[in-house]
Structure 1
Amino acid sequence: MPKEYRQIEWNAQLADDCRHLIRLAFREDLDNEQDWSTVSLVAADAQGSADIAARADGVLAGAPLVPLIIEEAELELTWTPHKHDGDAIARGDVIGTLSGSVRDLLTSERTILNFLCRLTGIATLTRTYVAAATGAAQVYDTRKTTPGWRRLEKYAVRCGGGVNHRVGLYAAVMAKDNHLAWSATERTLADITPQVREFLTAQLGAAAAAEKLIEIEVDSLAQLAAVLPSQPDIILLDNMPPATLQEAVAMRNKLAPSVQLEASGGVNLETIGPISETGVERVSVGALTHGAASLDLGLDWKSAQ
């Protein structure tokens, strides 16, 4: 079975990322002061509840953040979820209900919505790409993420049905065009994979080295022919049209059938279908994260006492 990049799940590490981001979000809004609009207009003991509702169709991501925000900011609120991450949502659907202090609800409203809208937008766009990939290839994200948000945004990709590529530079060896251009005077393409394997074994030991994926980027069939005999785990085919990708798949099938092929570069909703049908196993799409628009969600009051 081919090796795979580690997939992001909701876990303690991801929750810790969120806590840092939540603290920063409240620092941006409150600094060392307070929400003067709310405290000047709302009584300290006012209680109420409000729904967070979808203003557009999409795929939910980020719901576990809401109780984290309540906990981290010490809000006097309770959260009742009605939808869960990965659920399809339609315009008007209630995602969940916040109840408790009206002051806390108003002060935290934008922070909660910002997280949910951003992550739901990524999940929604990912689901659209997955649906458009009519072939057998899986849809992967990239490292083109918002600084500090990477694991969170990759989690949203997973909610939308996508697959995570490497989470960071530490997660794998990926020799891209700039690595190869820099080292071209010292080694050939055929030398890259054995050199990397030898180095990883010396640094990590044989067992740990074997767990590290090795991926090499090529931009021509000639380069592919040079790399295939060394059998890296994955070869990235950069900016190749579908006809060339089909030739690459035929070459791979003949020379190194265990090597996975990944298509990347210029992938959009119009091109992903034909690309996914060429026989490559993977299509990586930077737009899943850097091109996603937030999905509109809003807060609707239910009651106030």
Structure 2
Amino acid sequence: MTDYPRVEADALLENDLRMLVRLSIAEDLRDAMDWTTVCLIDADRQGGCEIVPRGEGVCAGLATLQWIVDEFDASLEVTCLQEDGSALVAGQAIARLTGNARDLLTCERTILNILSRMCGVATQTQRYAEVIASTKSRLYDTRKTTPGWRLLEKYAVGCGGGHNHRSGLHDGFLIKDNHLALAGDSSGPIAASTAAKKAIQWRGANVEHLVAPTMVEVEVDSLEQFRDVISTNPDIILLDNFSLDALREAVEIRDQQNSAVELEASGNVTIDTIADIARTGVERISSGALTHQATWLDLGFDWFDETLS
């Protein structure tokens, strides 16, 4: 199976994370100081805390914890007690931080904000993935992500058992109705099949400039449009807001005419509808709800005395 690359805890993710942390530092400190902490806490006071979930869920974001601490230039030792993708148990610590108490207090909110968001996305993804685990359908995210958080949220989707769709406009062709309309002329939009052929041809002629694997995916909104596109041999056809009956018919047509093309269902995908969609036989189901409907997982700092002599 050819697929879009999975987002990993690599240099690209680290770069995005560090930029977000720098923004967080600017929001909290504005080239000044954490005056409450400076006022009340001695400069050489040592302390310790554990990051503890208040409820069940899926762990995501621990891979970023050391990067956050580094960006704060904090004198802290980081110990991860669990791994990203593992199950969270209420009250069971996932990481421990020890060191300068002022640094702990100053970076507390940024750490909790980032980890709570990522654990929330991972937990939401797992809920969806579990519903279709017994089918052949795979669960995908979308580009409906929080601005600046694209790779972090997609990494969290992977932690929750989902698959990553394209990370951006740079790593795949996805021909949508707006492309067809704007590529047309006064007589109307170009046909989806024409656009698909052009993209496939363009990919072949420019392969050295593309991020591999660069797939061609075409969005269709009717069975008529689907029949027109299937013969062009794209990698994926996205079936936008198809009814269950139309999805089943599209799968039957594909199986008869071009079994190599994968079908992706999108639109009106919720926790209540995803099982019926998966049972139609599509290989892929994409849902923006994995990110834009995810709620934060409640995490807290549980403090303990780490005074050093």
Please indicate the TM-score interval, normalised by the length of the shorter structure. over 0.9
Matched, 1:118 2:121: no
Match of 1:156 in 2: 156
Mean Cα deviation higher: 174-183 or 105-114: 174-183
* Aligned residue runs from structure 1 range 68-147, under 5 A: 68-133=67-132, 134-147=134-147
Is the Cα–Cα contact under 8 Å of residues 136 and 278 in structure 2 kept in the other structure?
A: yes
Match of 1:296 in 2: 298
The amino acid that maps onto 1:195 is: K
Shift of the alpha carbon at 1:208?
Answer: 5.4
Alignment partners' CA distance in 1, 2:91 and 2:298: 11
Mean Cα deviation higher: 256-265 or 126-135: 126-135
Q: Specify which of 279, 289, 295 is matched with residue 287 of structure 1.
A: 289
Q: How big is each residue's C-alpha offset from its partner over 1:35-91, in whole Å with a ceiling of 9 and x where there is no partner?
A: 011111111111111111010100010002211111111101111111110000111
Shift of the alpha carbon at 1:209?
Answer: 9.0
Is the Cα–Cα contact under 8 Å of residues 58 and 89 in structure 1 kept in the other structure?
A: yes
Is the Cα–Cα contact under 8 Å of residues 180 and 189 in structure 2 kept in the other structure?
A: no
Alignment partners' CA distance in 1, 2:278 and 2:204: 34
Give percent identity, aligned residues only: 46
Matched, 1:194 2:193: no
Alignment partners' CA distance in 2, 1:280 and 1:192: 23
Alignment partners' CA distance in 1, 2:276 and 2:74: 50
Q: How big is each residue's C-alpha offset from its partner over 1:197-249, in whole Å with a ceiling of 9 and x where there is no partner?
A: 222333345x9598420000011111111100111000000111222211110
The amino acid that maps onto 1:171 is: D
Match of 2:17 in 1: 18
Alignment partners' CA distance in 1, 2:193 and 2:49: 61
Mean Cα deviation higher: 175-184 or 123-132: 175-184
Shift of the alpha carbon at 1:181?
Answer: 2.8
Aligned residues: 303
Q: How big is each residue's C-alpha offset from its partner over 1:161-180, in whole Å with a ceiling of 9 and x where there is no partner?
A: 00000000011110012112
The amino acid that maps onto 1:194 is: K
Matched, 1:217 2:216: no
Match of 1:265 in 2: 267
Is the Cα–Cα contact under 8 Å of residues 59 and 124 in structure 1 kept in the other structure?
A: yes
Q: How big is each residue's C-alpha offset from its partner over 1:105-137, in whole Å with a ceiling of 9 and x where there is no partner?
A: 011100000010000000000000001124210
Alignment partners' CA distance in 1, 2:240 and 2:189: 23
Mean Cα deviation higher: 162-171 or 39-48: 39-48
Q: Secondary structure at the match of 1:169?
A: coil
Q: Secondary structure at the match of 1:217?
A: strand
Matched, 1:168 2:168: yes
Is the Cα–Cα contact under 8 Å of residues 98 and 306 in structure 2 kept in the other structure?
A: no
Is the Cα–Cα contact under 8 Å of residues 143 and 168 in structure 2 kept in the other structure?
A: yes
Is the Cα–Cα contact under 8 Å of residues 135 and 278 in structure 1 kept in the other structure?
A: no
Q: How big is each residue's C-alpha offset from its partner over 1:149-199, in whole Å with a ceiling of 9 and x where there is no partner?
A: 101110000000000000000111100121123335363222222211222
Q: Secondary structure at the match of 1:295?
A: coil
Is the Cα–Cα contact under 8 Å of residues 231 and 256 in structure 1 kept in the other structure?
A: yes
Listed as ranges, the gaps of 5+ residues in structure 2 are none
Is the Cα–Cα contact under 8 Å of residues 236 and 262 in structure 1 kept in the other structure?
A: yes
Shift of the alpha carbon at 1:303?
Answer: 1.3
Question: CA 1:186–1:82 in structure 2 vs 1: closer, same or farther (change >3 Å)?
Answer: closer
The amino acid that maps onto 2:146 is: T
Alignment partners' CA distance in 1, 2:146 and 2:102: 30
Is the Cα–Cα contact under 8 Å of residues 171 and 210 in structure 2 kept in the other structure?
A: no
Alignment partners' CA distance in 1, 2:221 and 2:148: 31
Q: Specify which of 203, 206, 215 is matched with residue 203 of structure 1.
A: 206
Match of 1:235 in 2: 237
